[in-house]
Structure 1
Amino acid sequence: MADHYEVLGVARDASSDEIKKAYRRLARELHPDVNPGADASERFKLVTHAYDVLSDAEQRRRYDMGGDGGAFGGAGGAAGFGGFSDIFETFFGGGGGGGSRGPRPRSRRERGQDALVRVTLELDDVVFGVHRDLEVDTAVLCETCQGACTQPGTSEVTCDICHGSGHIQRTVRSLLGNVVTNQPCGTCQGHGTTIPYPCATCQGQGRVRARRTVSVDIPAGVETGLRLQLPGSGEVGPAGGPNGDLYLEVTVAPHETFSRDGDDLLATLEVSMSDAILGTNTTIDALDGSVDLELRAGIQGGDVLTIKGRGITPLRGTQRGDLRIGVHVVTPTRLDAKERALIEDFAKRTKAPAPHLAEFHQGLFAKLRDRFRNV
């Protein structure tokens, strides 16, 4: 019987990887589907039997100690295999038409990843919504190959190792019998095809990194922390696969005058003591234009003026919230002699009672809470 190491053309201390590579090389050369000669068929049986012995650690140990290395399977092929075609399928995913029984090859086209962009808005933008053109650094379709991954004028070719199956089958002997496993082909990475001439622009990825502009209409009523989803506006997938989604995370910047309470806007109006006593008319600048206010005579600090429909348009709906203005009566802290005399004379004339505890009014605290909420 021929020496197994000589049959495979490897040294006696060859590693398992070296033995496997030698067998694959000889199997491609001698397989009956490729080389139908009688001599090649006999050599193929010897090569297969040699590999069957040397690839099994226990059989190789017994063979190195002088054993026969296992019974030879004769014309039916190596022991444990069904024939020449089965042996080839075990390591190369099928020869001739036998490669369709394993898993399907993996597509190069995959969905692109989602992207997240943070955008800061002013409170003015939230009232009615705003249009924004956002610059996004993402993956876009390669203009040279249009996602084909190959140089123009070339194409992918079927992998000569797995013959297009994308997987390699291997049979491992165990105490429970033969176990067949499928592993992705290392040559084509499971795709079933290779790219001899990858696109020079994208290095065979079908996409490149670039900055692009995304136009988006941000609806009214958004608030800090809200994420808006833009389907199909994320990065393009490998090999021109479908785009992922783009998410906008909103932050609303604080405003120096107005704050927000749901769909309502809150503000504080400072009123002089004389205007609070006598009453007056004034105009203020709201976020969407001017508002005329009438302050009745005797208005109190903590009173809340409500202007209907001058708040924020809700995220889902059309009825705007209100503008609520809390009144703050400003008491003068510096008086000249004449002003002080006038105030003293006013106090004598009105004969106001001394400061004292009054009946508890729940409404007063509610007004104060509304006035200072979110400020």
Structure 2
Amino acid sequence: GGFGGGFGGSSRRSYVEPGRDLRYQVEITLEEAATGVEKTIKYKRNGKCPSCNGSGAEAGSSMKTCPKCNGRGYVEVTQRTILGNMVSQSECSECHGKGEIPEKKCKTCGGTGITKETVEKKIKIPAGIEDGQKLRLDGMGEASENGGPNGDLYIVIRVKDHAIFERRGMDIYCEIPIKFTTAALGGEVEIPTLKGKKNMKIPAGTQTGKMFRMRGEGIQALRGSMVGDEIIQVVVETPIDLNENQQKLLRAFEESLKDKNYKKHKTWLDKVKSFFK
């Protein structure tokens, strides 16, 4: 009786310890994170012994009350403290909290009810998952030593760094160099996306650092149907290693330009002038 009684008058503990949880790391690409992917995982765990179905008893033999804890599943430990003797309970090491042990131990698992096993399983990784997020697979962890439920398996997702794109939540960001003639005259440039190549129009007079947004070319939300965008930042490249003739052509072109062709430069010069007055 008393507190240890549990239900139905039995003096055995009503709580059984589940098996240990396991962690498994899966590495995926940014493309796979954007669309979702199926992966096969393979891992070792303590599983339920197939010979005795986890009971620990040899086939045909029965279970008997554990002599160490008299079937309670726990033992009482008395410790001396400044406040007097303290009694605490700990799981019985003989029966692992079951309260009973096999009369004849199973030869396969030595009476533990547990054997090592390799598990292979296909898992679905949803679109929109982020680096460091975890998926939980119920009951895919280790078997319990006292007939309790299996632990869980936690899949930790690692998204590899991408050569071209940087992920910012649901959006992806990409920096693209363009020729200074394209920036001045306008034109079309080829843009990489997660789904393949696309052409994008660059308007005449585009400045370096200008951002363009391609709608719906980002990553799908983990929950819901929203899709992010691809943000492109253009960097205007100045030509280098010009030969004499090219330099002459460029100087002649430069001399033909007026203040109105360089609005920022003109405004800046005016600011500097007024600052030094």
- Same fold at TM > 0.5: yes
User: Which residue number in structure 1 is paired with residue 3 of structure 2?
Assistant: none
Residue 299 of structure 1, aligned match among 206, 211, 223:
206
> Counterparts of 1:299 and 1:181 in 2: how far apart (Å)?
76
Return 5+ residue gaps in structure 1 as ranges. Answer: 1-99, 170-179, 360-375
Contact 1:133 / 1:214 at 8 angstroms: preserved in 2? yes
Contact 1:120 / 1:252 at 8 angstroms: preserved in 2? yes
**Aligned-partner residue type, residue 287 of structure 1:** L
User: Which residue number in structure 2 is paired with residue 273 of structure 1?
Assistant: 180
Task: Give the C-alpha shift of residue 224 in structure 1.
Answer: 2.1
> 1:350 aligns to what SS in structure 2?
coil
User: Which residue number in structure 2 is paired with residue 358 of structure 1?
Assistant: 268
**Aligned-partner residue type, residue 169 of structure 2:** G
**Aligned-partner residue type, residue 146 of structure 1:** N
- Structure number with higher relative contact order (C-alpha < 8 Å, ≥ 6 residues apart): 2
Task: Give the C-alpha shift of residue 196 in structure 1.
Answer: 2.8
User: Which residue number in structure 2 is paired with residue 131 of structure 1?
Assistant: 38
Per-residue Cα deviation, 1:72-110 (whole angstroms, up to 9, x for no partner): xxxxxxxxxxxxxxxxxxxxxxxxxxxx99862358964
Residue 253 of structure 1, aligned match among 160, 165, 189:
160
Assess, with a 3 A threshold, how the Cα gap between structure 1 residues 102 and 166 changes in structure 2: closer, same or farther.
farther
Task: Give the C-alpha shift of residue 166 in structure 1.
Answer: 5.4
Assess, with a 3 A threshold, how the Cα gap between structure 1 residues 351 and 232 changes in structure 2: closer, same or farther.
same
- How do residues 170-319 of structure 1 correspond to structure 2 at under 5 angstroms? 191-319=98-226
> Counterparts of 2:123 and 2:166 in 1: how far apart (Å)?
25
Task: Give the C-alpha shift of residue 226 in structure 1.
Answer: 1.7
Residue 50 of structure 2, aligned match among 143, 149, 167:
143
Assess, with a 3 A threshold, how the Cα gap between structure 1 residues 165 and 121 changes in structure 2: closer, same or farther.
closer
Assess, with a 3 A threshold, how the Cα gap between structure 1 residues 158 and 313 changes in structure 2: closer, same or farther.
same
Residue 26 of structure 2, aligned match among 119, 139, 146:
119
Task: Give the C-alpha shift of residue 159 in structure 1.
Answer: 4.5
Contact 1:108 / 1:238 at 8 angstroms: preserved in 2? no
**Aligned-partner residue type, residue 309 of structure 1:** G
- How do residues 162-173 of structure 1 correspond to structure 2 at under 5 angstroms? 164=71
- Larger CA deviation: 140-149 vs 281-290: 281-290
The structure with more strand, counted as a fraction of residues: 2
Contact 1:225 / 1:251 at 8 angstroms: preserved in 2? yes
> Counterparts of 1:224 and 1:186 in 2: how far apart (Å)?
41
Assess, with a 3 A threshold, how the Cα gap between structure 1 residues 278 and 193 changes in structure 2: closer, same or farther.
same
**Aligned-partner residue type, residue 337 of structure 1:** E
Assess, with a 3 A threshold, how the Cα gap between structure 1 residues 285 and 144 changes in structure 2: closer, same or farther.
same
Assess, with a 3 A threshold, how the Cα gap between structure 1 residues 255 and 205 changes in structure 2: closer, same or farther.
same
Pair 1:152 & 2:59 matched: yes
Assess, with a 3 A threshold, how the Cα gap between structure 1 residues 165 and 139 changes in structure 2: closer, same or farther.
closer
Contact 2:187 / 2:204 at 8 angstroms: preserved in 1? yes
Per-residue Cα deviation, 1:121-178 (whole angstroms, up to 9, x for no partner): 2111111111111112212221111112111222212356776455789xxxxxxxxx
Contact 1:207 / 1:239 at 8 angstroms: preserved in 2? no
> 2:246 aligns to what SS in structure 1?
helix
Per-residue Cα deviation, 1:305-346 (whole angstroms, up to 9, x for no partner): 111001000111211000010011100121011111111111
> Counterparts of 1:101 and 1:241 in 2: how far apart (Å)?
19
Aligned pair count reads: 250
> Counterparts of 1:311 and 1:140 in 2: how far apart (Å)?
42
Residue 251 of structure 2, aligned match among 332, 344, 351:
344
User: Which residue number in structure 2 is paired with residue 78 of structure 1?
Assistant: none
Assess, with a 3 A threshold, how the Cα gap between structure 1 residues 340 and 190 changes in structure 2: closer, same or farther.
closer
Contact 1:109 / 1:238 at 8 angstroms: preserved in 2? no
Assess, with a 3 A threshold, how the Cα gap between structure 1 residues 295 and 101 changes in structure 2: closer, same or farther.
closer
Assess, with a 3 A threshold, how the Cα gap between structure 1 residues 149 and 280 changes in structure 2: closer, same or farther.
same
Greater Rg over alpha carbons, structure: 1
Task: Give the C-alpha shift of residue 245 in structure 1.
Answer: 1.3
Contact 1:125 / 1:220 at 8 angstroms: preserved in 2? yes
Contact 1:114 / 1:245 at 8 angstroms: preserved in 2? yes
Assess, with a 3 A threshold, how the Cα gap between structure 1 residues 181 and 332 changes in structure 2: closer, same or farther.
closer
